Amino acid sequence: MSVLSFAAINKQLSLSRRLFLGGSLAAAALPATASAEEAPPASALKARQLPARSLPVPGTVSEGLQAVIAAPYPPGWNALPEDSATWKDLAAKSAAGAAPAIAAIREHFGLTVDQTTMGGVPVFVITPQDIAPENRNRLLVHIHGGGYVLFPGEAGAGEGMLMAGYARCKVVSIDYRMAPDYPYPAALNDVMAVWGVLLAAYDPSKMGIFGTSAGGALTLCAIHRAKAEGIALPGAIAPGSPLADLTWSGDSIMANAYVDNALVSRRSWANAASTLYAGQNDPRDPLLSPIFGDFSGFPPAILTSGTRDLLLSDTVRTHQKLRKAGVTAALQVLEGQSHGQYLSPFLPETDEAFGEIAKFFSDHLAS
């Protein structure tokens, strides 16, 4: 595919790229409602009052990413569905909106995508045309994002396709059950079921697990649960911008409110979706909010976020806890990016982000 055709694809997919990110929804049918930002419980110290300001698009990123950063907030970002039918309609819109980007990624990398089941769970097996020699016996396991409610079916496999293309490694992307029909622990149960099947076929030291947002959180939760149950751990993990704290208490939740143009603020659909997923369970349970768990014995990890990411604090805090537990952990924070925007296909920054993750897996997985 030529450079010119890449440019044409990027122009045509200006909307679908945002839909693909997991924080940007085709929610135009839902009326956006303005409301004041409410801070989570804080200390008695006085909050800092900030003057109104205009936030420029940084000139320190590629032109393509500048267009992503300059985009307005997603339509209906804070219009919260009131019933299951509306949540399901939102999920259907997310899948339809992601479809053009999914097709373009598959074509660009020349991927074969096969749908099957493992342990009764739907999965997509993604195989690049040319698997790197060192990856012939390796496998990467992908857990998609979308707040535990969005991107059903192949729409959730886009990040897995990107990784298969960049890493030149086979990927299994898990199409786990989601809220509202299947709240916690359905998604985690599905991840563990697939992991159990794969352990029968692969050496765990030759497998890695990765995902972004809810997928990043599920990556961490799967390790907590595998540790507790004495199940073999993967050789490395790559949780991207993990939704690691369902109390939504990190500093960047407020500091990057309305700076992040994907999730926007804690008053968004994503907060409501995480509450829907958790149900009546304690949000501080490490299998819901992995930040509250014990990170000792975790496999090597690389974490990815952006300077404008609403969940930057979740990512940084997770990295700190891993390091304090003696775990090998890398952190890449990408210039100007809001939540999950390193998933935007065909940008130089995407090449760089996935290149770092692919190298980390290559360095830490057994061959």
Q: Are 327 and 301 in contact (CB under 8 A)?
A: yes
pLDDT of residue 265: 97
The 10s digit of each residue's pLDDT in 205-263 is 999 999 999 999 999 999 999 999 999 999 999 999 999 999 999 999 999 999 999 99
Q: Does 54 fall in a domain? A: no
The 10s digit of each residue's pLDDT in 131-175 is 999 999 999 999 999 999 999 999 999 999 999 999 999 999 999
Domains in the chain, number: 1
Q: Does 353 fall in a domain? A: yes
| Best CA proximity match to 227, nearest among 254, 195, 179 | 195
pLDDT of residue 46: 83
Q: Contacts for 70-75 with beta carbons within 8 Å, 24 or more apart?
A: 71/14, 71/18, 71/261, 72/261, 73/261, 73/264, 74/18, 74/23, 74/24, 74/25, 74/27, 74/261, 74/262, 74/264, 75/25, 75/26, 75/27, 75/28, 75/30, 75/32
In whole angstroms, give the CA distance from residue 236 to residue 246: 24
Q: Does 18 fall in a domain? A: yes
Q: Does 47 fall in a domain? A: no
Alpha carbons within 13 angstroms on the beta-carbon side of residue 60 total: 7
Structure tokens at 49: 């009052």
pLDDT of residue 3: 32
pLDDT of residue 5: 36
Looking at per-residue pLDDT, the higher value among 188 and 1 belongs to 188
Q: Give the start-end residues of each E strand in the chain.
A: 112-118, 121-127, 139-143, 171-174, 207-212, 236-240, 301-306, 329-334
pLDDT of residue 45: 79
In whole angstroms, give the CA distance from residue 173 to residue 270: 22
pTM for this structure?
A: 0.92
pLDDT of residue 2: 32
Kindly report the average pLDDT of the chain as a whole number.
91
Q: Does 157 fall in a domain? A: yes
pLDDT of residue 12: 41
Q: Does 166 fall in a domain? A: yes
pLDDT over 50 at 65, yes or no? yes
Q: Does 271 fall in a domain? A: yes
The 10s digit of each residue's pLDDT in 266-321 is 999 999 999 999 999 999 999 999 999 999 999 999 999 999 999 999 999 999 99
Q: Does 32 fall in a domain? A: no
| Best CA proximity match to 24, nearest among 309, 301, 264, 303 | 264
In whole angstroms, give the CA distance from residue 141 to residue 201: 13
Q: Give the CATH number for residue 278.
A: 3.40.50.1820
| Best CA proximity match to 239, nearest among 147, 144, 304, 146 | 304
pLDDT over 70 at 22, yes or no? no
Helix (H) or strand (E) holding 5: helix 3-12
Q: How many CB atoms lie within 10 A of CB 63?
A: 9
In whole angstroms, give the CA distance from residue 331 to residue 315: 8
In whole angstroms, give the CA distance from residue 233 to residue 202: 12
The 10s digit of each residue's pLDDT in 336-352 is 999 999 999 999 999 99
In whole angstroms, give the CA distance from residue 174 to residue 152: 10
Q: What residues make up the domain containing 344?
A: 3-25+62-68+75-364
From 25-34, 84-93, 111-120, 347-356, the region with the lowest mean pLDDT:
25-34
pLDDT of residue 37: 65
Helices 348-364 & 158-167 angle (0-180, nearest 10): 70
